[in-house]
Structure 1
Amino acid sequence: MKYWQALVAFRKNEMADGLECSVLSYTDIQECIDVINHQYDENNMLILALHDLNTAVEGKDLKAMLRALQNPGFKVVECISSTDAVLYFRHLLHGWTQKRKEGTVLWLEDVQSAVKQVSDEIHGARVACELLMKMKTLQDSNQPSRKTSVSAAKMGIHENKHDPKFISALEEWCLKKDTGFLCPWIIHRTRNGSEFYMNLELCTYSWEKPADFLSKSDYLAQKQIENMRVEKWLVELQARCRGYLLRKQVWDRLEFFYQHTDTIIKIQAWWRSVVQRQKYITMITEQRERKYAEAEVYKSMVCLDYYKTQEHKIIKIQAVWRGYKLRRMFLSLFHEPQPTFKVVRSFVHHLDFNADDYRRDLQLQNLRGQVVQTIRHNQQLAQQLDAMDVKIGLLVHNRITLQDVVKHGTNLSELSKQHQLTTSQGEANGNRGIKSLTRVGRKLLDGYQHMFYALQTTPSYLAKLIFCLPLSRSTRFLETVILTLFNFGSNPREEYLLLKLFKTALEEEIRCKFTKPSDAVTGNPLVLRMVVNYSRQMPSQNALRDIVGPLIVKVLEDKTISFETNPVDIFKSWRNQFEMETGNSSNLPYSVTDVEALAYEEIQNKLNSGIRRLQHSTLLFLRRIVESRHLMPYGMLYIAKVLRNTLMDKFSNAPEKEILKVVGNLIYYNYINSAIVAPDAFDIMDLPPDRTLSNNQRRNLASIAKILQFAASKKGFGEESKHLMCLNSFIIECHEIMKTFFRECCNVEELEEHFSMHEFTEATMISRPVLYISLQEICDTHELLLKYQHLIAPDPSDPLHELLKDLGPVPSIGTFLGNGRDAAVPKTEVCLTLVNKFEVPENDHQGINKLFIKAKELLVSIFPCLQGVGTLHEALLVESEAEERLFQQLLHKHQQRNIHNLAASKSCKSLQDCKLILRDYLTKLELAGLVSSVDGYQSIVSAIAKDICSKRRHRELQRKELQELRLTKQNLEKKTKFYEEQINYYNQYIQKCLENLNTGKRNVHIRKSSGKQPEKLKSKLTLHYTAAKLHEKGVLLEVDGLPMTQFRNVQFEITPSDHNGVFIISGKFMGVELEKVEIDIQVS
């Protein structure tokens, strides 16, 4: 590794120097190898020297220690004298003793630290010795020489005017010290606290106590000398300087004012004049306005006085006349076969066919597509979140690594961002998949439009296909393709066809698989599961929230409520409460049986109170459910009806109560019960991602759901729960209520009546049905139909065989888009316009009919601007400036309201242009025999009148459907937001896991830099582990060339880098760094 690092560094240097050829030569490579070998030799010699040094210190051998210290790696810059050897040994012995307690020996950094400390102390001892010798000389000499010596710069004291005072004070100290000086040796301490002995006569020092040392000795310290300096003059000087600066600043300001007095006076006068003029102008304006208003008021008062006396008559006359004219015109619009041009023009504003209707149709189409895509996205998010829950659980139990969870979290975030990007792009990219298709792909999609139309309108195909598939494949097929094929029932037609499929599939499953009615309960039929899931999703996904949501919230918000019916648990809670209230240990037993617990009167009272509360809450839920039949999704009620009728037809001898139990299992247990037990999982209530229901809350809801389930199936408590047998009579009463409720749920109208469908509905639809489906789902469905076509359609003349023959074999994804390498290509969604291949071909008049509609739309756009009172033919021939102004005003009004119509198109820049285009349309229609200029084109005017009459009902139906789709989309977006909050919560959890990897025992600092400007140091945490510790944990298996006995001298440092999940690991042996590598735990 070090060879490679050295070669890389050498090559970078050559590249930085701008050499034309940065390839390393043989000489460069050999030089790098020699450098690394030299480093390895130095490290080995240093390790041997460390070993000798530890041995010498342990054996207290000064000579061996001095020899070992001669190694250059210890940074001993000068020869060690015998006098200083004692200090070296003292520091090394202290360090060796501390390391010995930790189970190690002296490392390189320990020896270097000791050598540096000893060098500093030796230097300090020599400087102190020289200083004190000078002071001794000062003491022995006369006053002039003292002054000269003290004033020297090398004494570290600056000369000033206070030198005489300083010398006098110094003489007094010297006289005091002379009286107590008894021997040449004195004691001195270094900055590190080490004592040594100095001989002031011989200018020598010793780190050991001399034999002739006497304790009665003293000397002048340098600190005492420096404290004699005079410092009061600094405070006085600063005060004088501040006073001078402040006075100067005030004087300069006043001097400026005095020099510009005339200018200041002029400025003030000018400003006062401006303020006064503003006040005068305001006063004049107010006076003029007041005079004009008084004149107008006087004139109007004269007229109003008369009108006020006749006001009630005027109102009546105007109302009667306007009402009469309006009613007459309106009745003529409905009853006359050919309303006049004037009448239609008066009511054409109610039509607005060219603005709102197109926008509403576009909104309906867009909302249907968005609802389908959001449902699909929510299903994918739910599956991914479930997988994330499992992965986090496995991570907690160390079954998988953090990298797997990080990777899945990244996929979740990308799925959420992809949906947000698709939603933000809107309709502009709505048909991106269609536009990128190849010619072969477009031809195939034409065939798929026929195939999916047949699958939608012929439910027997899919009903038989479901039972041809294996169980695992059929479940996945139901969850994805079936609902996608019917756009998740987002409009009445798709919901009608989807329920029709469920009916056919359920009848097929009961006919082929059921042997007794209870099989619908124990067999868990696929169709019933699909119906329940569909009823929870679309279009009435908030039904359960409206039915049981308020009661669930009420139970959860009551913190004091408890439906505990287990005597043992009640006894334990009672005993704990008693001990908490009294603070003393109770004499009650710790473990009891149900019978022993019920022997206490307090337990019986608490049990009876809990049972009463449970009965009351259960009765509230039951009444709410029974009263909310009208809130139940129609699809659930209809399938319940089909289930009852089919079971009664096949098992005619079965009693009605058994059939109703099966129906109750579908309606209550499969649909309602889960929402009561787990309201947070079925969107019954809103909870933040980091909050869950408590155990007591879940137990209360489970108790209510259990009693309701017993009532639905008429199941009571037996000998195993004698204390609850009192609830059996209550359960029977509830069962009778629920049986009546289940019977009423089956009394619903048929599909055709509910959705107003008949055999000619498809033929009367204005717009063709569309289907939003991915390319992968198209290929999967095609593959299954080819595989089981003879089981689905055993008749050789069945139209399905012809449709599959037209399509041929299953194409690849690349056939559609010409690129199958991208993983997102199979998920590309396309919008198919479904067409019945076997319908009657359209005639040649279709183009003429479209032209008639186009002419009608253009006429409606310019109708308010036509001023003619005769016929449409006359109005189109008139040219008037008033009409043109009215048309421009209308265009401006539409532009302000963002209304687009044919009149506002680029080809219609003026009213005259619109008239020319309309006349051209009418001429073509007259040639086709649809209109006539003889009667003033009355046919098209009458058609507009019919549109006005039928427009109200059509708009009401559209508004209702729009409202339902908006509500559905809003609920779906809430669900998406909830899933995205969960994703954010999981991302925070994953990020916290990555951050927790950076925790350790010691802070280190890493300098971060961006570009050329260095940034501040960022604190990081470093973990230190010895090789012995890692081997003990099972992390480290072996170290090449090193026995296990030396593992305690090997240390690993784990330092986090600037990025979470990336760590720098370095290895050291006895303090000498050997290797350094970088590891990214997020790289799988």
Structure 2
Amino acid sequence: MQASKLDQDVYALVELQSIVRGSNLRREIYKAFDFFDASMGEIVELQSIVRAKEIQVAYNELVGELRESEPSSIAMQSLIRGNAVREDLYTKQSILFSQEPAIVDLQSIIRGDFVRDDFGQFLDQLDQYSDEITALQSVFRGVMVRFNYDLIIEEFEDAMDSIVLLQAHIRGYRIRKDHNARMEYFRQNMDKVIKIQSFVRAKKQGDAYKSLTSSANPPLSTVKNFVHLLNDSDLDFEQEVQLEQNKKQVKDEIAHNQQLEQFITQLDVKIALLLKNKITIDEVIRHRNKGAISVSNSGDLFDLKALNKVSRKRLELYQGFFYLLQTQPTYFARLFKQLREAMVTEKEIKDIEGMVKIIFASAKMSREEFFYLRLVSQSINEEISNCDNVKAILRGNFIWWKLLAALNRTPKERKTLKSMLYPAVHMVSSKSKLDLESDPLAIYRKSIMDEELRTAQKSSRNPHLPVAEAIKLPDVRATYISNMQHLRELTTEFLTVLSDNVDRLPYHIRFAAREIYNICKTKFPEEGEDRLLSVIGHVVFNHYLNPAIISADNFGIVETALGPTQTRNLTEITKVLSQISLLKPFSREDIYLRSLNEDVKIAINQAKDIFREVINVPDLGQQYNTSVYDDLTSHERPLLYIKTSDIFSIHSLVAHEIDVMAPDPDDGLRVVINDLGPLPNDASEILNIAKFTDVKLELNPSFCKIEDPEAEVNSLLVSIKRCLIYVLRVQSGPNLLEVLVSPVEEYNELKYREILAEEAIAREKKRKTHSEAAAQIAAATQGLGDLESLTYRELKLLALEKILELESYGKISRDDNYQALLNSIAQDIKSKRDRRIIRKKEIDEVQRALTDLNKTEKYLQNKLQTYNNYIEQAMATLQTKKGGSRKGLKGLLFPFSKQYFHHRDLQKAGKVPKFGSYKYSANDMFDKGVLVELNGYTENQYSSVSFTFSSDEVGVFKIEAAYGSVALPGATTEMALDELLNQQYNNQQYIILFDNMVKFNTNLMLHFIFKKFYGENTL
């Protein structure tokens, strides 16, 4: 039983033993590990020694074995290395074969670089001996070339005939072949060739003509291409000469008639004097025999109605003076230009405008209106010539605008405006509830005001609402849309009124619009048609219709006065009309009117047609059936009724501005002013000499020079151009000067003769059909010299002589190769037709003037005979009488006195005192008795010392003294009226100022102050 139990426990015992043994073994192992860890360095060193020893042993064994087998090993290694090398070479060859192109390129580059280096070094060596090498090469080349050349020449000389014949055949064949092929091609395409030729010729001619018309200095070649257009200029040229001759004849006839008029005028005066017993019978006989009058010089110098020689002379001078101002527009045109540039005050402009209206009698008669519009036309030319663009014209404040506006205010024009505009204006003014306000903010604020009026309570809405928010409000937006619809309809109505009444527009407006349009078209060729047409719209609307529409009550278009709303409505309409006149839609500046732009664009097309019709008017002379010769040929002089004060005022103005109005020292106006002499300096003298309120002036054209000062130059220019037309047709060159100095060859003479022969045949044909024209040609040719009798060489010499003569006048210059002559010929080509029409009108006018002059001469001869007969009868009955009375002069206020210019200087400086300012010299103050004593100056210096009295505060007067234009130091003081009155009350006789420099009489000083500053008329 124990045995079985032991058997049962044996496995447990064995397992226990295993555990014990394992535990013991692990303990021993751990101890060994601990030992090893403690002896790690020694163990590692020992292991290294052992391993090294083993390796040495193994190496030595191996070396021994290798030494034993060295021959076989070397052979094996050789085989292995050979195989490895072959494999490596094969691999590299494969790689090289695949990269062969790149390798070849690389090799080429390397070789090239090597070659270039070598070649560069070679060149460097050659450069060192360049001169010697070049000389040697030249010698060898020369020898070789000469040798080869000699051989070739010898061969050619041997076969010369055959070579020449062969070349001729070959060239002939090639030329015939090309020519036949070309002609065959042309025959097959003949219609196309003709079209191409026509197109090319037209294109070349078009380009040449464009160059002629657009170029400021067309080249000689261009002018030469078109000079043939002047081939038929014989009649033109002769008519020019005939016109000049007729003008000269008119001048002579006028001078003769003026002598008769002058003699008759002297007889007329003599008769009046005879009737008043001023001269004796002996004087009459002496006057009759000698044609001269001798009367006493008694009477007032400025009495224009006195029967004495001085007064009559002065009257005649004034009659010529006002005739010049009426008929010569350049005078006032220059003045207007200078005044605008000087920026004078509006008052001065109005004064001068008033004087112009007086000179032209407010343009009430046809003749005066004719010359008035000539002044406007001349002024337009003067002013626009200095404008840089069209915008400057539209924005310019020119005086001729005011002259046109003055014509708009005449009763006749008011009546025309009323008949045109009344229906449309009445349509606006009769609607009391109509409001054309275009500003949404104004509409919004008006709605607030209406609400407050309706509810009698302050509105809760914000009156300062931004406009962008105001337009979004339903009621504001609805009102705005309604206003724009009404504005569009009414504007269309006004435009329709203009379209239907273009023919009723006054001639002066249409004439001014045409003049401005034509001048702008010439001066600004780069401007588009719309821009130029807008100038017409500016004249018609801004300077005629719009002022009348806005101030319809002032122009008499409506009977009742316009209210603020009606005026605002009309203003809104004119705003749209003005935009249409600009031919542009509204911009961003008028943002709330831009909604009308579509309608504006439609209206613009209608406006263009209207503007073109506006300027379709006859010339000034044709409209008024008047010319500059009418006054010179009529035996009735034009009359001008004018106040004496106006005569002196205009005289003073012209005398003061004579350097501007008539800069030429020989100008007729300047001569008249010099003959009239100076006006009195003191206004009191004017008061004494102004005896008559009105004077009737029979305007005298004898001071008007009708001859053209450039007539001689123009005649010379015509002759030169006549010669040059032939010269240019015969010879060519880079410029005119080269052509003129180029030698004359025989073929030039032949060509010139051919041209003359062709013209002779053409003239013969004309002679058979136009005998009158041929007679004119023959008559004028004799006066100009027959060109057929000249050789071409003589013709060029004649042209050169005349050109040098014209150059002496300074009209042309050789510095530009006489380009001005080419320009003139080009202008003749361009304006040939227009010039013929103008010349025909001028010839008709001159011939009519000659006819009228003959009639006038007969009338004057009859009148002269009648006066002579009357004098003969008077001599038999005249008896000597005594008597005669003189009338007193009436007072007048002379605006252009020293005070006038003093005030003008103050206005320019912007220092005009509130209650006036007066400036007098010490001499004047002494004469008035106001100034008693002036210390520190001699009597000769009194005229240079001046005193200025001014008032800028009630009851306070400022007194200043100056010597010339320099204020005297310390010579300024202010005195109150109370101080002056106290001086008088205290019986102080004198007022001493400026440190005893001046002494004034107290009573006269007070009298002076009251007279000047408290309502009495000034002297």
Report the TM-score range of the alignment, normalised by the length of the smaller protein.
0.3 to 0.5
TM-score normalised according to structure 1 size: 0.35
Greater C-alpha radius of gyration: 2
Higher relative contact order (CA 8 A, sep 6+): 2
